[in-house]
Amino acid sequence: MTNKEEVRSLRERIGIMVASTDATKLVKIEDAGVDHVWVATGPLFSADLLTTLAAALARTSRLKLGTSIVQVTSRHPVFMAQQVLSLNNLAPGRLKLGIGTGALDQAKNIYGTEVKAPLTYLREYIQVLRPLLQQGEVHHQGSYFTTNVSLQSSSQVPLLISALGPGAFRLAGEVADGALSFMCPVPYLLNTALPALSAGAEAVGRPRPPVVAHVPLAFTEDRASGLQAGRQAMSFYATRPAYHNMFMAAGFSEQEINPVSDRLIESLLVFGDESKVKDRLLEILSTGIDALAITLIPVSDAVQEGGRLAQLIGHL
């Protein structure tokens, strides 16, 4: 393998996660040399994620874009397939679709959809969505969806699902092209997530799909500043039952989760200067984690630090 191939392989394994719905920001990230970006769902009633991606794809030429995530209760799987295939026609090969059940309490309040068995719902959703994406047609009669439809196009758009617990990782191993983690400590991914992902894949006789590890990152060499920024960013998740349960399964006590302890923050947050954070990212990738999605945790200047992150990832 040549040095050029090694650099390209590394760059393809590390992307940036952005919460902004500003397509102009994605143009600047592409100019920095970044290979791919994961665009996170914005706050309630913000701009539609797939519409934002359409604008970004039209303004960029090579940047790959992924969704992290589109909440499945927000649209029927046939409509989802139509939107995704339209985006792929606009920019072939540059889209990855990340989906998940998301916040089900919000789904009930907003869409009137009550999901009592999230993984069962997600499995059936994919049973409709994946054939539509890959073959352009589906004939399905199930508990949640009944549809017979043929579309005019198809594509091998990678389909990933969000996962926190072992059941979701196992489902990803069975039916998806990858798993998107969020706020999961690396030891938890290695000891719990990857074995579940492998078990799911083995059960259906296929190779294990990749896991994309979400990594919060802060540019500061001061531990106290890093902990303060990390605690501010992570405190919300400690109050959500799904994340609370995942942190407990990762070996953290109730007292370490709420309020968020230094040990929990340091299990998640990568901080330091460019050299230190690069070394840590490479260390994580050397453990068997397939890819990383980096979220910037601003310390003092979000714009300047965002530029530093794009330059760091773009020059790997």
Domain residue extents for the chain: 3-219+288-314, 220-271
| pLDDT value of position 4 | 44
Q: Answer whether 187's CB lies under 8 Å from 195's CB.
A: no
Mean pLDDT of each 10-residue bin along the chain, 316 residues long: 52 91 83 95 73 91 95 94 96 96 75 85 97 96 96 95 97 98 97 98 98 98 97 94 96 96 97 97 96 97 96 95
| pLDDT value of position 294 | 98
Third-level CATH fold of 3-219+288-314:
TIM Barrel (3.20.20)
Tell me which long-range contacts 282-285 makes (C-beta under 8 A, separation of at least 24): 282/10, 284/186, 284/213, 284/215, 285/10, 285/13, 285/14
| pLDDT value of position 90 | 93
Helix (H) or strand (E) holding 97: strand 95-100
| pLDDT value of position 20 | 65
Name the 3-class secondary structure at 146: strand
**Virtual torsion, Cα 305, 311, 312, 316, nearest 10 deg:** 170
| pLDDT value of position 221 | 96
Question: Rounded to whole angstroms, how far apart are CA atoms 144 and 166?
Answer: 23
| pLDDT value of position 180 | 98
Q: Tell me which residue of 27, 28, 24, 50 sits closest to 39, measured CA to CA.
A: 50
Q: What pTM did the predictor assign? A: 0.94
Q: Answer whether 65's CB lies under 8 Å from 96's CB.
A: yes
Q: Answer whether 81's CB lies under 8 Å from 129's CB.
A: yes
